Structure 1
Amino acid sequence: MDAIKAWFSGSKDYYQGVAIYASLPVKKTRILKNLNRGKNNRNMSTLVSELRKYGSMPKPVKKSEPVIVVKEAHPDQKEINTEHVRTQLATESQKQEFTGIRLGDLPAELRPRFLRAQKIFYDMIELKFALNDLPDNASDKALPIMINIFQLDEERDTIWEELHHWKKHRTLLTVPEDDFSKLDPKSLWRKKRNLEANITKISKRVDQRYSDLETETNKHDRLLIESSIRKSENTLHQHKVNLEKIKKLI
């Protein structure tokens, strides 16, 4: 499947990968339900495994199609065709990116975040097109574009965590107001290492709690596990936001 090959050769965006998995003719409802809970280490590993498994399946042999000779388009027509293809790609990607989340269903606090996610999405598409248009020897121009894409991608992940948390739990993630601008470089690096360690530890804890939730049948215990997940995800989100702030200062 071309979409799977493109996903593996690209940035492996989690939510686009879930949309691809959901469109497969052979998929497991339980796995899709877990993937729709949002991005975490366990779900990302499952997604990669399932897409790789489907991508390696033998495909039916197609009959050879007659070769059609197409006359070379006029330069102006080539540009029009390129813009048309890019518009189609952007539209299709937009459908995959925002599936399951609608602006009107969100509380007032999250609507600006949703609109920001949309802007980031289209900005990243334009940057990726600009990167693809560069000649092979333009590494000096490519690097700033790649850094910009990476920074936007991190911001997008943070916003989607807030949106998916609301969709799952109907509660808002707390946005920290910590100010690190007065810290010296040494303190910033120390804080960065501590946050990264805490993020790793809490991520593993959340993954384990989701595993516990899958096997727990007692209603009361399930509610306790869900409450623990909400609290941990809230703390995890605050650490990630603070880590982004520190990275911008270093």
Structure 2
Amino acid sequence: MFGDEPGTGGRAGTGAGAARERSEPAPGAVLLPGWLAADAQLRLVTACRQWARPPAGMHTVRIPTGGMMSVQMVSLGWHWYPYGYRRTAADGAPVKAFPPELGELARRAVAQAYGDAVGTIAGAAGYEPDIAIVNHYAHGAKMGLHQDRDERTDAPVVSLSLGDTCVFRLGNTETRTRPWTDLELHSGDLLVFGGPSRFAYHGVVRTLPGTADPALGLTGRLNITVRQSGLAVGSAG
């Protein structure tokens, strides 16, 4: 689905370059470079391959204007569609369950991102994620600036990057225009955005082909975003 299986080759990566440090590109947004170790990245890529299989597998989304998104995606816990959530996937099958281990990983991410300030970020102290959306960016795929507003809570969003580096645009909460900040997200990077940045416009300007570690056996980029829906069991978006 995403290229070669681990250990079977692939393009040479370009390397991460100079060491990068924790940063806060906007209030409530925290970037932790290299947060996922190599073995953890490999486990997640393997898991993504399982999640991508039908039924309720990876698919391309048609947006209300009629166009097709250039990324492919699969949802866990709740199925995302423009602009809401439901319990059935695009093929009519029940959505795959949200993995408890992914929830634990996301809770640890929020705790490490905010540290002692976790109690000052809306929804961070009692963070209970129940949704994951996995996006696969093949070469040339991108995502326009948008807000994550389909959840019924302002709890933080956890974003994990795997594979090729991308240029991620973090904008403001009012418009799709400037001001914005462009960040390079490498494989293993963690980005958490909550608080004042929870509803910031954001998107992926481009990916950088050939920058993934060949050991991942991954073509393109995978992005796993973990969220708390705020939806009651049995409800629909």
What interval of TM-score do these two structures reach, taking the shorter chain for normalisation? under 0.3
Q: TM-score, normalised by structure 1?
A: 0.22
- More helix by proportion, 1 or 2? 1
Higher RCO (CA 8 Å, separation ≥ 6 residues): 2
